[in-house]
Structure 1
Amino acid sequence: MILVTGGAGFIGANFVLDWLANSDEPVLNLDKLTYAGNRNNLASVDGDARHVFVQGDIGDTALVERLLAEHKPRAVVNFAAESHVDRSIHGPEDFIQTNVVGTFRLLQAVRQYWQALCAIEKEAFRFLHVSTDEVYGTLAPDAPAFTETHTTEPNSPYSASKAASDHLVRAWHHTFGLPVLTTNCSNNYGPYHFPEKLIPLMIVNALAGKSLPVYGDGMQVRDWLYVADHCSAIRRVLEAGKPGETYNVGGWNEMPNIDIVHTVCRLLDELRPRADGKPYAEQISYVQDRPGHDRRYAIDARKIERELGWKPAETFESGIRKTVQWYLEHAGWVADVQTGAYRDWVQTQYAADAVAASA
């Protein structure tokens, strides 16, 4: 069995579903079920004896210790995190509690469990920590992409909290010998993505006839990674990664945000045209840029390809089409996650900042 934390969130749920589709090994899934954690993401494995779900917090030491003792996992894959930059600006304390204190408490519980294992089990055990490219900071337009040795220079409360957790994981390996692995991924997209993030927000707002809010000039550049590719990378790192190592996971798809938005609009024009026949791009509006907005991220994913033989299967063109089609086919899931709290958040975050509208 493996223990997955944060396994009801976007990436975590995709990983759990991917794992169970590719392996008979059971998953113990621990998730706090905050606003972005959603049991509906896991509906397809309800009743599957290989999936054991527990609602709880990685910072609850007693709970984590009990789960480790009862289920005796051979590995822990840590997705649990607060992950939205905008929310970290408005309320950074939750990010410190989950991403820093929570990771610390999880590491402590796992270390105690690992140290008590027999020699063979101890040697085989792994703790895989899932992190982000945002810990590296921002890149100039012509700068080389982030490698695993790039200095961490986080610029938001979110990325600072994730950088802190990365450092804790590294320290628990070098000080205590815990066999850890760290992955730093680029921007994920795909099914079950909570619609506060760029791509699902554009899809959901476009279909609802609402404004498509773009920060600043929309020229912030990101590397985009289809979530199923990320899941396969994590499986490969867990299988063959070297303890103590960090692996960057990217999609080799650097694109400005505004190009992403136009791509989504074009696909919706094709797959679900507006009733009035006009292009969805007419709904694009530009809003005030957020504080400390990093201009460019780019992942150099050559290490994981060279050492572990992994590379993404999806191009951006194939992945974004699958993503748009998924949202069109799962309107019920979208409606279920759009609670009053979600609507209030989007209204607060974007509506008051609208400064212009442009096609």
Structure 2
Amino acid sequence: MTKKKVLVTGGAGFIGGNFVQYMINNYPQYEIYNVDLLTYAGDLMKHHNVENYENYHFIKADIADRDKIMPLFEKEKFDYVVHFAAESHVDRSIADPEIFVRTNVLGTQVLLDAAKQINVLKFVHVSTDEVYGELDFDPTTFFTEETPLQPNSPYSASKAASDFLVRAYHETYGMPVNITRCSNNYGPFHFPEKLIPLTISRVLNNQKVPVYGDGKNIRDWLHVIDHCAAIDLVLHEGVDGNVYNIGGHNERTNLEVVRTIISALGKSESLIEFVEDRLGHDKRYAIDPTKLEKLGWKPTYTFETGIEQTIQWYLDNKDWWEQIISGEYQTYFQKHYSFN
């Protein structure tokens, strides 16, 4: 296999960080470039084991900074771009939509311009199932690649806008692109404000676990390593211009997820505290991944095996998440959930 230069944007974040590790482990002949601004959810601790590798390169940069991004592409002549970098937390988008538009829309457009300038071999845009809006509770209904986009939060609206930009660059300029839309990810290095790591960390500290509304909102859970394998397949085998949905067929209510974690850690469900529901809280997400499965992908984790592995990872890596949940993050948590 020929040597390629792969740019991973947002490679200090949760999914992007796992993808950087995945690519280094599976493609040692590739040059992996990690571009990240290192905002609140990004850290380089997860890459301490590869930071001295000759084929790993970190560049701190804002993807919306055209004066930095365009020269970088001209200099390095990347073959592949895998674009994770995004503001991704719905609650934060409700509080401050503008930064989501800047990063998710304008940042994507800058990357597309830079990729077009050097004729990249493939631009993979990592999106979300949230762009489809919500499903009802009918277990026979699923999002497919043909489902109309109906985003319901500033976050998902900004991701839908970036999806449309990527599609337009393919249709207008012939750029070789793919868009992937995944269900909720979980696994190692998940930032502690998201449901699963938040629950694990608070249960371990015998703190109340906030559950929005009645806890009956349903999500389809996908282990991050299964997601990385799917993106790898799309990068190398995806048909140009196509969208691929990535889902794990692991639907659970939020309350079921919280109860599973509490039970696994041997704690009491008295730690659950129902809080005022999130604005515009989508009822259910569920993905039909048939198209990607026909390309050759299958998830390897069930929710049962994946959540067990994830809980154990958080038990084994307290140093990582304990330093994150101190300081500024505590202020954010109190603001959004109104208790400590």
TM-score (norm 2): 0.96
The Cα of 1:351 is off from its aligned counterpart by: 2.2
Alignment correspondent of 2:239: 242
Verify the 8 A CA contact 2:37 2:62 in the aligned structure 1. Answer: yes
- 2:159 alignment partner, SS class: helix
Aligned partner letter, 1:236? L
Structure 1 unaligned runs (5+)? 115-121, 270-278, 355-359
Alignment correspondent of 1:215: 212
Question: Which runs of at least 4 in structure 1 moved beyond 2 Å after TM superposition?
Answer: none
Of 7, 10, 13 in structure 1, the residue corresponding to residue 11 of structure 2 is: 7
Of 36, 40, 47 in structure 2, the residue corresponding to residue 35 of structure 1 is: 40
Alignment correspondent of 1:289: 277
Q: Deviations over 1:302-334 (max 9, x none)?
A: 00001x110100000000000000000001001
Aligned partner letter, 1:3? L
Alignment correspondent of 2:66: 61
Verify the 8 A CA contact 1:65 1:113 in the aligned structure 2. Answer: no
Aligned partner letter, 1:113? I
Q: Matches of 1:44 and 1:267 in 2, distance apart? A: 30
The Cα of 1:48 is off from its aligned counterpart by: 1.1
The Cα of 1:280 is off from its aligned counterpart by: 3.2
Alignment correspondent of 1:45: 50
Q: Matches of 2:184 and 2:324 in 1, distance apart? A: 21
Q: Matches of 2:322 and 2:54 in 1, distance apart? A: 29
Alignment correspondent of 1:101: 106
Q: How does 1:74-153 map to 2 (within 5 A)?
A: 74-114=79-119, 125-142=121-138, 144-153=141-150
Verify the 8 A CA contact 2:69 2:110 in the aligned structure 1. Answer: no
The Cα of 1:336 is off from its aligned counterpart by: 2.1
Q: Matches of 2:324 and 2:24 in 1, distance apart? A: 24
Aligned partner letter, 1:188? N
- 1:158 alignment partner, SS class: helix
The Cα of 1:62 is off from its aligned counterpart by: 2.3
Q: How many residues align?
A: 334
Q: Matches of 1:62 and 1:330 in 2, distance apart? A: 38
Aligned partner letter, 2:125? H
RMSD: 1.1
Is 1:23 paired with 2:10? no
- 1:173 alignment partner, SS class: helix
Q: Deviations over 1:271-300 (max 9, x none)?
A: xxxxxxxx3322011000010000000000
Verify the 8 A CA contact 2:32 2:55 in the aligned structure 1. Answer: yes
Q: How does 1:295-310 map to 2 (within 5 A)?
A: 295-306=283-294, 308-310=295-297
Q: Deviations over 1:212-260 (max 9, x none)?
A: 1000000000000000000000000001000100000001101101000
Alignment correspondent of 1:349: 336
TM-score (norm 1): 0.91
